[in-house]
Amino acid sequence: MKKLSIILIMSFVSAQSAQEDIFKDFKELADSCEVKKDDTREGDQASKERRELSELQRNFNKLKEESINLQKVNNNLKEHVQDYDTLKHENLILKQENERLKKSNQTLKEEMDLNRDKRTFIQKKEEAMQQRKTKRKERQESFKRAQEIFKLKKLENRGYLTVVESHSCYIEV
């Protein structure tokens, strides 16, 4: 974009210098073609020079219009270059913001992984505690059954109790 604007600025400068050259030529011709009241030249020659002078005037006016148009184009290009630079700067800022957000996102992912690992650890710990409780309960129940059986056998051995086994319970006789 900058190369294009430089080229157009250079073409504008060269167009201005060409315009100045034509303007100088026009003045020289106008000075040489000036007809005075006491001019003794022939009428045809004077009218021919007047036509050339008016032609040069038209060309000069056209060049002036082109110069104005080139100035407008040049100003528009300058604005576009400024807009381009502004957009480039905004793009750079957005890229930096994007990088910052990526880092933040990565940090959040790492924290989520740590939290998931902590939850998994806590869950496994709770499961292990539950298994220990269940085993402890089972041991206590089996110990209580063994104590009851031991008491009953002790009473039976002393002759205080007769035990008849059934499928579901003990019956005292």
> pTM for this structure?
0.43
pLDDT-based confidence at residue 103 (cuts at 50, 70, 90): very high
Percent of the chain with pLDDT over 70: 71
Calculate the average pLDDT of the chain: 82
pLDDT of residue 109: 95
Angle made by CA atoms 43, 46, 47, in degrees to the nearest 5: 85
Q: At what angle do helices 2-33 and 43-158 cross, to 10 degrees?
A: 170
pLDDT of 112 above 50:
yes
* Strand spans (E) along 18-98: none
CB atoms within 10 A of CB 104: 10
- For residue 49, give both structure tokens: 């020079």
